[in-house]
Amino acid sequence: MVYLDNSATTRVRPEVLEEIIDVNLNCYGNPSSLHRMGLMAEKKVEEARKSVAKLLNATPQEIYFTGCGTESNNIAIFGILSDLREKNNIITTKIEHPSVYNVFKELEKKCQVKYLDTDNKGKINLAQLEEMIDENTKLVSLAHVNNEIGVIQDLDNIARVIKSKNRNTKLHVDGVQSYGKLKIDVKKVPIDTMAFSSHKIHGPKGVGGLYVRAGLKLNSLIFGGGQEGGLRSGTENTPGIVGFGKACELIFENFEEENERLYKLRNEYIKRLKEIEDIKFNSLTDEEGAPHIINLSFKNVPGEVLVHYLEGKNIFVSTGSACSSKARDNRILDAIKISKDYEGTIRISLGYFNNFEEVDYVIENIKQSVNEIRLITNRRR
């Protein structure tokens, strides 16, 4: 089996599983309890918080645990906009993940929402961003790495433009696809909040993270026992949090080597995919593209059909975001103006367990599947 859908979710690393099992067996107290078992669990949570913070060069006090990346995005956006007024405006892009895009669509009922355009590879225009920001702009929210096409937005210059135009405008970053894969230093870039998720970096599902810059007060959406500094009440998912922390430790230990390996593996796939006729890369194929995402379209090959052909050969790719896979249209591909002739779009996304030995098998089966599908579709015309 070759699993190439790591942007949807990742296989948990064995070292992470060991930690999760150990906590469930030996450290199962409630972190809020005052007895020894509770204090042991609390200590495990705080150790994990330190590991999660290290990947951003943040302080542990700036890290809050949530249930997923979607929840982190929602807490940050609604927390920043708790005193939203009709005269205010907020800015995002047309290619955001549904956990941001659909929030902004909902907020259209309360204020002016401005949508940044992108070029045909998904990059925003900094001049347009500068034009859109005024004295009433409360928030700019965008993804560091797009989950479908892998474009990397220039956070340094985006933050510079925002803060120079209106220092009170907050910058929220959806970092779900960049956390643990790209270097991010919140001491150097004035990001106000950033969302990320455990299951995208070979940790367990059901755990997310939110960075909140020291001094920024977010209003809570969830009220209860006051856990996570009162921002996200509810008994902590200790095994999940500890697993998340372990996944972060493993990444931190070999960050540069793994990042370089992923880029090399991505580039090998790109080189071999170019052997196929009538294809179009929708993702950037240089350093401005993420190390783990390749998005491409095939002429006269329906995407869903190709996914199922490859599944029959034990190769697992996707047509795009798992969170919007049931949708009939793809607004991200529409935004970057993909020709309707190239309807067969797939996303190959790489992770820790992928290797160079898989490439030949994958490419040969993509070639064979594409040729078979084209024969069928040409007969029907």
Among candidate residues 10, 13, 6, the one with its CA nearest the CA of residue 250: 13
| CA pair distance 86, 153, nearest whole angstrom | 29
The phi, psi pair for 240, rounded to 5°, reads -65, -45
| CA pair distance 379, 245, nearest whole angstrom | 54
| CA pair distance 361, 313, nearest whole angstrom | 10
Pair type for strands 89-93 and 2-3: unpaired
**The 63-66 sheet, strands edge to edge:** 63-66, 208-212, 193-197, 170-174, 137-143, 89-93, 112-116
Environment class of residue 277 by beta-carbon count within 10 Å: exposed (0-12), middle (13-18) or buried (19+)?
A: exposed
Specify the length of the chain in residues.
Answer: 381
Query: Of 27, 68, 248, 323, which one is the catalytic site residue?
Result: 323
Provide the b/e sequence for 162-191 (b: ≥16 CB within 10 Å).
bbebbeebbbbbbbbbbbbbbebebeebbb
| CA pair distance 130, 144, nearest whole angstrom | 18
Asked about 68 being catalytic, the answer comes back as no
| CA pair distance 17, 47, nearest whole angstrom | 17
Residue 359 near residue 367, CB atoms below 8 Å: no
Annotated active-site positions, please?
Answer: 323
